[in-house]
């Protein structure tokens, strides 16, 4: 047996690479609330990307007739009121009235990859500790599970007597996947920040 550390959720333990392909950090706002039934936007119960000359938003229908709206802003100022106002601006052709807001949140979106996913084959990184990106399309959940399975079967083999260098393949394999993920996320996240017709094409792939 040998000591092992698997870290999945701490970004403070590792230094992330700043890749040439990534965008600057963007501030993303989220509002979850109930819109009045008189809301006349035809696709309110469909996950929809709406682009305008001013901004772009993602509308995501949720449980209990709630609607979740994502808005990306370039500056540092953020508030629930700003998010609601931007949603009204983008949907200015429709009547949008919030009956109440149940939840408001904000987070920064940036693409980063850890320099290494393992250290001396004793400490391993997976999930958010290994790479950061937007929370869209369940990317973090899916890739984290893949990394955990990838590492688990390798560790199981080592414990059964396989050569220990097998563990070195984890870093090489998952670095490649992480870079592919970041490239996808850059296009996917950018789709919500740019008011152009290509945004829907990217969003509909997922």
Same domain, 88 and 152: no
Q: Which of 62, 86, 109 is the last residue of a domain?
A: 109
Sheet holding 98-109, edge to edge: 48-51, 56-61, 67-73, 26-35, 98-109
Same domain, 189 and 124: yes
Same domain, 100 and 33: yes
Residues 114, 17 contacting (CB under 8 angstroms): yes
Q: Is the pTM of this model over 0.85?
A: no
Same domain, 105 and 117: no
Q: Which of 61, 81, 109 is the last residue of a domain?
A: 109
Q: How many domains does the chain have?
A: 2
Same domain, 59 and 130: no
Q: In sequence order, which residues have a C-beta less than 8 Å from that of residue 170 and are 6 or more positions away?
A: 117, 118, 124, 150, 151, 154
CATH number at residue 158: 3.50.50.60
Same domain, 52 and 92: yes
pLDDT computed for residue 36 by the predictor:
52
Same domain, 34 and 102: yes
Residues 126, 7 contacting (CB under 8 angstroms): yes
Same domain, 130 and 92: no
Find residue 119's DSSP bridge partners.
123
What is the span of the domain harbouring residue 155?
A: 5-17+113-203
Find residue 17's DSSP bridge partners.
113
Same domain, 145 and 197: yes
pLDDT computed for residue 14 by the predictor:
42
Same domain, 121 and 44: no
Same domain, 71 and 148: no
pLDDT in tens, the chain (206 residues): 444 455 555 444 444 444 333 444 555 556 655 555 456 777 777 887 787 777 778 788 888 878 888 877 666 567 778 888 888 888 888 877 778 888 887 777 677 888 888 887 788 888 888 888 777 666 778 888 999 999 999 999 999 999 988 989 999 899 999 988 888 887 776 666 564 444 444 443 33
pLDDT computed for residue 6 by the predictor:
54
pLDDT computed for residue 189 by the predictor:
66
CATH number at residue 53: 3.30.9.10
Q: Which of 94, 109, 124 is the last residue of a domain?
A: 109
Q: What are phi and psi of 118, to 5 degrees?
A: -150, 160
pLDDT computed for residue 93 by the predictor:
81
State how far the Cα of 30 lies from the Cα of 135, in Å rounded to an integer. Answer: 11
pLDDT computed for residue 154 by the predictor:
94
Q: In sequence order, which residues have a C-beta less than 8 Å from that of residue 52 and are 6 or more positions away?
A: 89, 90, 92, 195
State how far the Cα of 98 lies from the Cα of 37, in Å rounded to an integer. Answer: 10
Neighbours of 160 (CB within 10 A): 7
């Amino acid at each position: 047996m040998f000591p092992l550390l698997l870290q999945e959720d701490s970004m403070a333990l590792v230094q992330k690479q700043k890749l040439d392909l990534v965008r600057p950090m963007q501030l993303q706002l989220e509002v979850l609330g109930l819109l009045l039934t008189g809301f006349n936007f035809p696709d309110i119960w469909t996950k929809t990307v709406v682009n305008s000359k001013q901004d772009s938003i993602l509308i995501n229908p949720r449980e209990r007739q709630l609607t979740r709206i994502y808005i990306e802003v370039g500056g540092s100022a953020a508030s629930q009121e700003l998010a609601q106002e931007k949603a009204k601006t983008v949907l200015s052709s429709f009547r949008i009235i919030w009956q109440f807001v149940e939840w408001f949140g904000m987070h920064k979106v940036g693409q980063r990859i850890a320099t290494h996913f393992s250290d001396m084959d004793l400490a391993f990184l997976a999930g958010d500790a290994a790479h950061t990106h937007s929370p869209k399309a369940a990317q973090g959940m899916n890739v984290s599970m893949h990394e955990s399975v990838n590492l688990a079967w390798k560790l199981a083999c080592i414990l059964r007597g396989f050569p220990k260098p097998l563990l070195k393949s984890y870093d090489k394999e998952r670095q490649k996947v992480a870079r592919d993920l970041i490239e996808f996320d850059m296009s996917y996240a950018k789709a919500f920040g740019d008011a152009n017709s290509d945004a829907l094409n990217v969003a509909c792939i997922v």
